[in-house]
A and B are shown apart, each in its own frame.
Chain A
Amino acid sequence: MGPRPAISSFLESRRLLTYILIAIAAWSALSVDWNGNLVHPGGAESARQIFTAALTPELSSDFLALALSASWTTVTFAVAGLTLAIAVGLPLGVLGSGVLLRPGSRRFFTITGVRVVLGCLRSIHELVWAWLFVVAIGLSPIAGIFALAIPYAGILGRIYSEILVDVPEEPLNALRTSGASEFKVFLYGRLPMAMPDMLSYTFYRLECGIRSAAILSFVGITGLGYQIQLSLNDLLYNEVWTLLLFLVGLVALVDLWSSLVRKSVTP
């Protein structure tokens, strides 16, 4: 058993990782053609136009109404996708945490199996799912919702199971000695104690979902992303800025909502 520990400790050493990263950075810098047209020659002018447009976003009432309805569409898609993700991710997260099962081989195989499923769900990005669904069922809002829901179910399930395991044991043991079965311990102890963290993470995912839903517009979800694309094609930068401001506003609203809800469940 001589050399093996030495090799593995060398591979695990942080210094090795640092050297590799430095080497990669140096190599990529060398492979750039610094003398060529690194920057598009008309780029400076375009950039100036884009940023001056930020000072005069399009504020006509017609366009604001359009931006408002596009925002609403984006929110509904994000909420629909996330609802589906919670419906799938919560039961999988509970199963994958193993908290309802007695220690033993059945528990081991359930936890492992569910973790593999959750891993597969979240290893593919929602954009890729969107492409696949467009091929399979065509341009449709359903494609966008499913594309969002699948990876998000995997992410939520994983995080839920970790939060459920990380709950303090003492109150749970007290419930057990009052005669509660594991499922009742779950209802009266584990779930209430895990709830603030689970809610907070779910709201964070809703934020991410709104951003993703905006990007997924190309599979037939009309909404902020679709409008941004149209305005960009027409080089109407002041419209783009208005739409971006609505996107920022949506995320801020979700954040506000999240902190209000969290306040009501934190002891």
Chain B
Amino acid sequence: MTNTKSQTPTHLTLEAVQKSYNGQPALAPLSLSVHAGESVAIVGPSGSGKTTLLNLMAGVIQPDMGTVILGGNNLSGIQANGELSRLVGIIHQQFDLVPHLSVLHNVLAGRLGDWSLAQSLLSLVWPRDRQVAMQALDRVGIGGKAHERAARLSGGEQQRVAIARLLVQDPQMIIADEPVSSLDPARAADILNMLKDIATERGKTLIASIHTLDLSSSYFKRVIGLRNGVVQFDLPVEELSQERLVGLYELKETSLGTPASHQ
């Protein structure tokens, strides 16, 4: 399906990846690959396994079966430390910042994987790499807020700070888990635009789960539909039809988790 891009190297590969929680399957055996620099939206109703899939891709959780290979590294062999933070960075819907710290320290937290413990401690008093953080804040348009407490910022501004932290962390792949679902449409478009531009200008792979269908089709080149842990479709955005999307969200008996009755 993605043969149009076969000239760029594969960045992320999932092979027969499977995950369940307390016996409840969250992801059926699932295989897919993403090329370097691609931008992919993952859509699907709530409970479809989007967050599980993204957490597996980011190495936050490990699959029960199957392998996740990112940039040539098997993620199950990598401890969550500086090494993983250079491969992949993740931003969430909200609650991502430490509200009590200044914006500057929140952005510099993206460096924690590289710094030694002593450097991290000293930086709380005399911020290190201030230049890098200020550039990142200027890039996301809130350079003037570096010394404010993160809690004082609006939701949209906090999301910009989270993006600035990703810029400072500088991973090869950016994963965004519902990055705009708590924002109004104008700010949501703004944030997605910024993520897309940053990914393009720095050659990052971008994978995001998106709630609203119009947003997924206007900011991403490829859309994967997920339902009950199974990939329903995986298409370039121009081949996406309205019926497919409607079918993805339509309520079915089976999607409610009621097993075939024995009456």
Say yes or no: A178 contacts B96, CB within 8 Å: no
CB-defined contacts of B92 to chain A, threshold 8 Å: 170, 174
Say yes or no: A174 contacts B169, CB within 8 Å: no
Say yes or no: B100 contacts A196, CB within 8 Å: yes
**Which residues 155-191 in A have Cβ within 8 Å of B in the complex?**
168, 170-171, 173-181, 183-184, 187-189
Say yes or no: A179 contacts B100, CB within 8 Å: no
Interface status of A5 (Cβ within 8 A of chain B) = no
Say yes or no: A179 contacts B97, CB within 8 Å: no
Q: What's the minimum C-beta distance from B99 to chain A, rounded to whole angstroms?
A: 4
Q: What's the minimum C-beta distance from A224 to chain B, rounded to whole angstroms?
A: 36
Interface status of B180 (Cβ within 8 A of chain A) = no
**Which residues 234-253 in B have Cβ within 8 Å of A in the complex?**
none
Interface status of B109 (Cβ within 8 A of chain A) = yes
Distance between Cα atoms of A175 and B112 in the complex (Å): 8
CB-defined contacts of B97 to chain A, threshold 8 Å: 171, 174
Q: Quick one: given A180-B109, A181-B81, are A175 and B124 in contact (CB under 8 Å)?
A: no
CB-defined contacts of A184 to chain B, threshold 8 Å: 112, 115, 117, 120
- What size tier do the contact residues of chain B reach? 35 or more
Q: Quick one: given A180-B113, A265-B100, are A170 and B85 in contact (CB under 8 Å)?
A: no
Interface of A is mostly: helix
Distance between Cα atoms of A187 and B115 in the complex (Å): 13
Interface of B is mostly: mixed
Distance between Cα atoms of A176 and B96 in the complex (Å): 11
Interface status of B203 (Cβ within 8 A of chain A) = no
Interface string of A48-91 (1 = CB under 8 A from B): 00000000000000000000000000000000000000000000
Say yes or no: A171 contacts B89, CB within 8 Å: no
Pick the contact of A188 from B80, B91, B101, B149 — CB < 8 Å?
Answer: B101
Q: What's the minimum C-beta distance from B164 to chain A, rounded to whole angstroms?
A: 12
CB-defined contacts of A195 to chain B, threshold 8 Å: 100
Say yes or no: A176 contacts B101, CB within 8 Å: no
Interface status of B9 (Cβ within 8 A of chain A) = no
Distance between Cα atoms of A184 and B83 in the complex (Å): 16
14 contacts between A and B (CB under 8 A): A170-B92, A170-B94, A170-B95, A171-B97, A171-B98, A171-B99, A174-B96, A177-B88, A178-B109, A178-B165, A179-B112, A180-B120, A188-B124, A265-B100
Since A176-B80, A179-B84 are in contact, a sample of 17 more A-B pairs with Cβ atoms closer than 8 Å, ordered by chain A residue number, is: A168-B95, A171-B99, A174-B90, A174-B91, A174-B96, A177-B60, A178-B85, A178-B112, A179-B113, A181-B81, A181-B112, A184-B112, A184-B115, A188-B101, A188-B105, A192-B98, A267-B100
9 tightest A-B contacts by CB?
A179-B113, A179-B85, A267-B151, A170-B95, A180-B112, A192-B100, A174-B96, A267-B99, A179-B82
